[in-house]
């Protein structure tokens, strides 16, 4: 069993990833921590509670960061054109969900859970890395106690999606991402190099909904405007960014990788760019020296990943 804390900003593709984690037989979902990004933290937390209620997810939800790791950064408008005004594709979501939140802030929930399960917890972070950076700030030793960190974010050999060089999650809080990438724990970076070529078509998702009952129908409903958004990039489908990171936890053999220290550009026209110095390549002394070697995903068996997502959500695994 993989003990997982899911750090998320629901978010449409976040919702699919959450249902995957909830239903995979090898995942023990210890908690959901929320962060701002696809919407305000108030909205993403409400959405997490809504999905917890609708899908019968038993783990706690802890509210996380609502501003960047460096609070002087100016927030940009929420990407409502991607995830809808309410973060879940414009479906009907109550303003208030009558479920309790964990009383701890997300970073404290992460610290406490990791310390209670030393060497066993995988942090799956699919939004901005702010909560993880705050956890390291308040308790640096947890880097030695976490099993691994799997993030959806970044781009290395392909263009970005919010600037020519930057991916949205990293671009939203570059300072936090650089803290996470350079900490003394194992990070797996599942970025646009692999997620942008992993597409679930509208018809494939609709076929899932036909046999998956009301839970999968809800997933199908909240995904429709997201699929509409992607018409500029793919043919009647959506990139399943966050689910790819979750698949890595249980099926890393479906990915090809390079390893090396990773840095994040903070500021300037390349703000949010992720850069790996591949192990074995020699350069003059620089800002990648003496940092931990991380794992960067560069290839993916997309069809097998899509089928594993479907089989898991439909409980065929």
Active site residues: 241
Comparing CA positions, the residue from 294, 299, 296 lying closest to residue 255 is: 299
> What's the CA angle centered on 196, arms 266 and 1, to 5 degrees?
90
Residue 316 three-state SS: coil
What stretch of H or E contains 36? none
Find the helix or strand (DSSP H, E) in which 217 lies.
helix 202-229
Q: Are strands 274-276 and 255-260 parallel, antiparallel or unpaired?
A: unpaired
Three-state SS for 214? helix
Structure tokens at 199: 């597409």
Contacts of 21 (CB under 8 A, 6+ apart): 4, 6, 27, 29, 124, 246
* DSSP, residue by residue, 73-109: SPPPPP-HHHH-TTSSTT----S----PPPSS-HHHH
Question: Using CA atoms, how far apart are residues 139 and 108, in angstroms rounded to an integer?
Answer: 9
- How many CB atoms neighbour CB 98 within 10 A? 7
Q: What is the 3-state secondary structure (H, E, C) of 24-68?
A: CCCEEEEEEEECCCCCCHHHHHHHHHHHHHHHCCCCCEECCCCCC
H or E element that contains 2: strand 2-8
């Amino acid at each position: 069993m993989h003990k997982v804390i899911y750090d998320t900003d629901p978010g449409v593709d976040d919702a699919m990833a959450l249902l995957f984690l909830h239903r995979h037989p090898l995942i023990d979902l210890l908690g959901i921590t929320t962060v701002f990004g696809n919407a305000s933290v108030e909205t993403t937390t409400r959405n997490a509670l809504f999905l917890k209620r609708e899908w019968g997810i038993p783990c706690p939800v802890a509210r996380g960061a609502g501003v960047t790791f460096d609070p002087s950064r100016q927030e940009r408008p929420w990407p409502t054109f991607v995830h809808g005004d309410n973060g879940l594709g414009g479906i009907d979501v109550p303003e208030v969900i009558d479920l309790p939140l964990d009383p701890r802030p997300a970073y404290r929930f992460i610290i406490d859970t990791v310390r209670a399960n030393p060497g066993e917890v995988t942090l799956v972070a699919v939004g901005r890395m702010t909560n993880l950076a705050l956890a390291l700030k308040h308790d640096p030793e947890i880097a030695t106690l976490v099993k691994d960190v799997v993030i959806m974010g970044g781009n290395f050999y392909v263009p970005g999606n919010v600037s020519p060089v930057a991916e949205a999650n990293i671009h939203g809080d570059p300072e936090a991402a650089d803290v996470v990438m350079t900490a003394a724990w194992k990070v797996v970076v599942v970025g646009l190099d692999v997620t942008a070529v992993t597409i679930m078509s509208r018809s494939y998702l609709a076929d899932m909904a036909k046999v998956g009952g009301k839970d999968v129908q809800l997933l199908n409903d909240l995904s429709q405007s997201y699929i509409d958004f992607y018409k500029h990039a793919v043919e009647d489908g959506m990139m399943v960014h966050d689910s790819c990171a979750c698949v890595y936890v249980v099926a890393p053999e479906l990915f090809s990788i390079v390893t090396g220290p990773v840095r994040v550009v903070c500021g300037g026209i390349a703000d949010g760019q992720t850069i790996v110095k591949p192990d074995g390549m020699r350069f003059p002394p620089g800002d990648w020296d003496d940092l931990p070697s991380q794992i960067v995903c560069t290839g993916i068996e997309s069809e097998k990943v899509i089928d594993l997502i479907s089989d898991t959500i439909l409980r065929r695994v």
